[in-house]
Amino acid sequence: MSYKNVLASFAPLLAIWFIQLFLPDIKLSSVIIYIVFTPLSFLLGYYLKNKSIFLKLGYPIIIVFVGIYGFVNFLYVVENHDSFKRIQSPKMEFSHNENQIRVDTIQNKVIVLDFWTTSCGACFQQFPEFENIFKKYKNSTSVSLFAVNIPERRDTIGYAKTRIERYNYQFPVLFSDSDTIPKQLGFNKYPTQIILKNGIIRFIGNLNMNEKNVFIYKLEYEIEKLLNE
């Protein structure tokens, strides 16, 4: 069997994955990973078919390494391929302890906004690590971190407060009265982090806070990079 035949045998599967790219509620980055890595894995196996035993023994090691490190890092690359920005922030005004706060007008600070919803399990999973990062910078006059709730249909601020306050986190929680900002900035999945500096949006995407096997797109690194500008 030739390389062409190996690829041809994957044509139906690749076609199914390609169709999924255009379906609603499909995680684009995951589909792309399957499209890229599955054929490559089988092509590598085919290539090693008549090679030495040492190369064959190395093949499962490569597969394990890719499974542990390759997929998740590639996922962050795909999700954040256009996340770095330098655009003027729209008006960002939120409720906080019955007061209104505008974060887009704050100057001389790196502002980190972690957008979440009440139904977002991944948001709640990463809150403990967000808390740790908040504690690291809480005494800094140059960095502020906020969790920002975006209401879902039938949500109330009271319900969102109840969901988050039971965990007794120290980081400040802001509450939006609509999903206007996500619509203005073109994101609709959560969690999403936005980083601002002097009213300019520098990042919109998904930063790593708690995945040990991810070496890129780390929240603390992006904060430090902007502090050192």
Q: Residue 157: which pLDDT band, with cuts at 50, 70 and 90?
A: confident
Rounded to the nearest integer, the mean pLDDT of the chain is 84
pLDDT tens column, 175-189? 999 999 999 999 999
Higher pLDDT, 50 or 6: 50
**The two three-digit tokens of residue 228, written as one number:** 């050192």
pLDDT digits (tens, 9 = 90+) for 22-49: 544 445 555 555 666 666 666 766 676 7
Cα torsion through 53, 57, 58, 61, rounded to 10: 170
Q: What is the dihedral of CA 151, 157, 162, 166, to 10 degrees?
A: 70
Domain residue extents for the chain: 3-79, 84-227
Residue with the two structure tokens 């684009």: 28
Fold category of 84-227 in CATH: Glutaredoxin (3.40.30)
pLDDT band at 123 (very low <50, low <70, confident <90, very high): very high
DSSP states of 159-207 as a string? Answer: HHHHHHHTTT--S-EEE-SSSHHHHHHT--SSSEEEEEETTEEEEEE--
Residue 50 has pLDDT above 80, yes or no: no
Higher pLDDT, 172 or 7: 172
8-12, 130-134, 192-196: segment of lowest average pLDDT: 8-12
Q: Is the pLDDT of residue 99 over 90?
A: yes
